[in-house]
Amino acid sequence: MLESWSISRRVSSGFVLVTLIIIGLSVFSHRSVSALGNGYLEYRSTAKQTISAASYMEDIFEARFAALRYSQSPSDKWRQDVNDHILAVTQDRALRSAFQDSPQHLRDVERLVAMSEQFRLNFTEMSNYVAEANTARADFSIRTAAFDNAINDIFSATIQTSTEAAITAAGRSLQTAMGAILRGNQYLTTLDPADLTAFTSEFNAFHQNLRRLEALNNQDVILAKIAALKQDLDGYTAVLETYAAAQERAAGIQDNTLYALGTGIQHGLDSIAAEIVGRQN
């Protein structure tokens, strides 16, 4: 059929065919370049999200670890580490920017950031209770040493100048005082409520014996020592009770609130990371 065409018609048809081929190649190339460009943009977005999520995970892990170490061995270093790692998250503009093209993920990130800030606030509350407990513990230790010295001084003075009945009362006072001191120090170590109850019982028994000693004694010097000791012991049991309450509140925040928040944040980040990995595959 082509043999019947004129040369001009053959040439024109050839040009049309070449033109169509060029147009087809152009369209294909444009679509390929566009797809490649879109793929690159998706890769860059995914890479930014992966880096941001990984950084977030690291900061949360470090914050949780520091909070746990602080509850076990309070120090300014661990307290500062918690605040630094949480602030690194809450003040990270790049974190939100990485997810700005993914509204659902951005909402999830904002929720997790809010939870992280709550973690920091609850940790601060816990650390304040820990500081209160440490202050009470130090006060109790100082007052216990003074208590120990004073009751031994009273006993020594009594056996030198007093009656047999007064000496017996002094001995019982010393015995129950030592029992209270032992139980109090034991509670500081164990945090066992049974030890706190035993301390209170021993201390009440000591007071009864001290009142008996005071009634039996007729030595002005010893009576003055007893009066001074009673004054020094005013509020002594309350110090240990303050320590106990502060420790209980701090432990409750660490074991319940901080653990729940930290676990929730970690699970949320794991879900985001899993979705990112799914898109890469």
Read off the pLDDT of residues 152-201 as tens digits, 9 standing for 90 and up.
Answer: 999 999 988 878 999 999 999 999 999 999 999 999 999 899 999 999 99
pLDDT confidence of residue 56: 81
pLDDT confidence of residue 117: 92
Cα–Cα distances in angstroms (integers) from residue 106 to residues 32, 40, 82, 100, 265, in the given order: 30, 21, 24, 6, 14
Cα of 6 vs its chain's centroid, Å:
91
pLDDT band, residue 82 (cuts 50/70/90) = very high
Q: Distance between CA atoms of 78 and 81, rounded to whole angstroms?
A: 5
Nearest to 90 by CA among 65, 66, 120, 67: 120
pLDDT band, residue 61 (cuts 50/70/90) = confident
Q: Would you say residue 16 has pLDDT above 70?
A: no
Q: Distance between CA atoms of 92 and 183, rounded to whole angstroms?
A: 50
pLDDT band, residue 279 (cuts 50/70/90) = low
Least confident segment among 6-20, 84-98, 129-143, 232-246: 6-20
pLDDT confidence of residue 260: 92
Q: Mean per-residue pLDDT for 6-35?
A: 48
Contact 214, 226 (CB under 8 A): yes
Q: Comparing 8 with 62, which gets the higher pLDDT? A: 62
Cα of 189 vs its chain's centroid, Å:
21
Q: Would you say residue 20 has pLDDT above 50?
A: no
Q: Distance between CA atoms of 185 and 143, rounded to whole angstroms?
A: 12
Q: Would you say residue 9 has pLDDT above 90?
A: no
Q: Would you say residue 245 has pLDDT above 90?
A: yes
Q: Percentage of residues in the chain with pLDDT exceeding 70?
A: 80
pLDDT confidence of residue 38: 43
Q: Comparing 121 with 44, which gets the higher pLDDT? A: 121
Q: pTM for the complete prediction?
A: 0.74
Contacts of 84 (CB under 8 A, 6+ apart): none
pLDDT confidence of residue 212: 94
Based on the number of CB atoms within 10 Å of its own CB, is 277 exposed (0-12), middle (13-18) or buried (19 or more)? Answer: exposed
pLDDT confidence of residue 281: 55
Q: Distance between CA atoms of 13 and 4, rounded to whole angstroms?
A: 13
3-class DSSP string for 222-277:
HHHHHHHHHHHCCCHHHHHHHHHHHHHHHHHHHHHHHHHHHHHHHHHHHHHHHHHH
Q: Mean per-residue pLDDT for 217-222?
A: 86
Q: Distance between CA atoms of 143 and 203, rounded to whole angstroms?
A: 14
Q: Mean per-residue pLDDT for 68-76?
A: 88
- Across 31-35, 44-48, 63-67, the highest mean pLDDT is recorded for 63-67
